[in-house]
Amino acid sequence: MDLLEINIQSRVIIGISAMVVLFTSFLVVFISNQRKKLQYHKQIQAIQLEQQESLKQQNQQLEQRVEERTAEISEQKEILQETLEELRASQLHLIQKEKMASLGELTAGIAHEIQNPLNFVLNFGEINRDLLMEIKEALEKENLSEGFKEDILPLVGDLGDNLSKILQHGKRADGIVRNMLQHTRKEAGVVVLTNLNELTDEFLKMSYHGFRARHKSFNCTFNTIFEGGLEPIRVIPQDIGHILVNIFGNAFYSMQEKAKIKSDYEPVLSIHTSSKDGKAIIEVRDNGMGIPEKIINKIFQPFFTTKPTGEATGLGLSLSYDMIRSHKGDIKVISAEGEYAQFSIELNY
Ligand SMILES: Nc1ncnc2c1ncn2[C@@H]1O[C@H](COP(=O)(O)OP(=O)(O)OP(=O)(O)O)[C@@H](O)[C@H]1O
Ligand SMILES: [Mg+2]
């Protein structure tokens, strides 16, 4: 019986031990599996983190590239914009030039047409005046009744006055037409190697004296910078002289107008000659009335003038423009109303 009990006890112990062993080994296997899983998860997490990090870096790089490209594109856009503006400006300039050229041709054509009938008007006007003088003398000599003389002689006098006016204004028109005809005068001047400094100085003095002879109270200070090494240039000196006389004349006129309305005002004319990029440049700047923005585009048109009727023809700058064009040069103007006007003559060497 005892033996049997022992047997049962040992069996129970063996069974329990076997169960413990089984459970322990199961536990060991389970724990090691869990560890492996944990490690695997950690590895995956690390890989994910690494991937995230590299994605982040790639994103940053991409963003930087996008920023760089955007900057490049906007820079290119600005350059394109500027080029477009320049193109627009030169297109306008070209259109303006063409307009001026055809206006010049038109003016010359009209001048030719007008010159003939105008010559008739002037010639027959003068003949009529002589005839009238003869009629008057004859009437005075004739033994006519006083009443008749009183009636007729004042009429003859009036006719004479009217004829004088016709002749006076006919001559004015003739002067204008002659000016206009300078548009066609191509073979007039001879191209000569010219010292622009001397030419400018000479015409400056001449214009000033001419202006002062007509406006005695006018005085002006000169600021002249004549570039020492300015190379002689091949031009038609009379043409350049003509252009300068008009520019100086306009400047004196404008400064005189300002002097009339401004008490503490000192007229100053600045003249600067220089050479740059194969061009000789003459800049003339006055501190007169300046040119209003709304008319600055018109000043080179034939007959455009703001001066009182009878004082100017408005042909000065238009003729200058034509002469400069035939020299393959350029004439430019900048101004601020009430402050200054600056004309630049550019001539190619
Ligand atoms: N320096 C200047 N300051 C202000 N306005 C000017 C100046 N130069 C030219 N102008 C303007 O341009 C217009 C045209 O000038 P332009 O020399 O062609 O004709 P003008 O002087 O009026 O007449 P003309 O020269 O035939 O006697 C002038 O009437 C004036 O309004
Ligand atoms: Mg003028």
| Per-residue pLDDT tens over the stretch 224-247 | 999 988 999 999 998 899 899 999
Dihedral, CA atoms, 83, 84, 88, 90, nearest 10 degrees?
Answer: 20
pLDDT tens digit sequence for 104-141: 677 777 887 888 889 999 999 999 999 999 998 888 88
Q: What total of structural domains would you count in the chain?
A: 2
Strand partners, 283: 272, 344
Query: What pLDDT score does 26 carry?
Result: 93
Same domain, 195 and 328: yes
In a domain, 327, yes or no: yes
Does a structural domain hold residue 236?
yes
251 inside domain: yes
Q: Which domain holds residue 120?
A: 103-181
In a domain, 311, yes or no: yes
| Cα–Cα distance for residue pair 109/238, rounded to 1 Å | 23
Rounded Cα–Cα distance for residues 227 and 205 (Å): 18
What pLDDT score does 140 carry? 82
Query: In terms of domains, do 194 and 177 share one?
Result: no
334 and 295, same domain (yes or no)? yes
8 Å CB contact between 266 and 256? no
Check pocket membership of 289 for ligand 1, CB cut-off 6 A: yes
Helix pair 237-261, 316-326: axis angle to 10 deg: 150
Residues 166, 256 within the same domain:
no
C-beta of residue 251 within 8 angstroms of C-beta of residue 341:
yes
Ligand 1 pocket mutation pick from 177, 183, 250, 270 by most atoms within 8 angstroms of CB:
250
Asked if residue 210 and residue 175 are part of one domain, the reply reads no
Let me know whether 341 and 203 are in one domain.
yes
Q: Supply the pLDDT for residue 182.
A: 63
Question: Contact at 8 Å (CB) between 348 and 278?
Answer: yes
- Residues of the chain with pLDDT below 50 are none
Residue 114, token pair as written in the block: 């007008």
Per-residue pLDDT at 6: 74
> Domain check: are 125 and 240 in the same one?
no
Atom 12 of ligand 1: nearest residue by CA position: 299
Q: Is the CB of 244 under 6 A from ligand 1?
A: no
Of 151, 181, 211, the residue that ends a domain is 181
Contact 191, 236 (CB under 8 A): yes
Last residue of a domain, one of 181, 215, 241: 181
- According to the model, what pLDDT value does residue 201 have? 94
- Convert the pLDDT of each residue in 37-68 to its tens digit: 999 999 999 999 999 999 999 999 999 999 99
Q: Which of 232, 226, 236, 246 is nearest to 329 (CA)?
A: 236
Determine if ligand 1 sits within 6 Å of the CB of residue 305.
Answer: yes
Which token pair is 277? 């990029």
Task: Report the SS3 class of residue 314.
Answer: coil
Tell whether 135 and 215 lie within a shared domain.
no
Q: Are residues 168 and 249 in the same domain?
A: no
At 126 the pLDDT is 92
Residue 29 lies in a domain: no
Residue pointed to by tokens 């790089």? 61
Phi-psi region of 230 (alpha: psi -120 to 50; beta: other; left: phi over 0): beta
Residue 207 shares a structural domain with residue 327: yes
Which of 125, 158, 181 is a domain's end point?
181
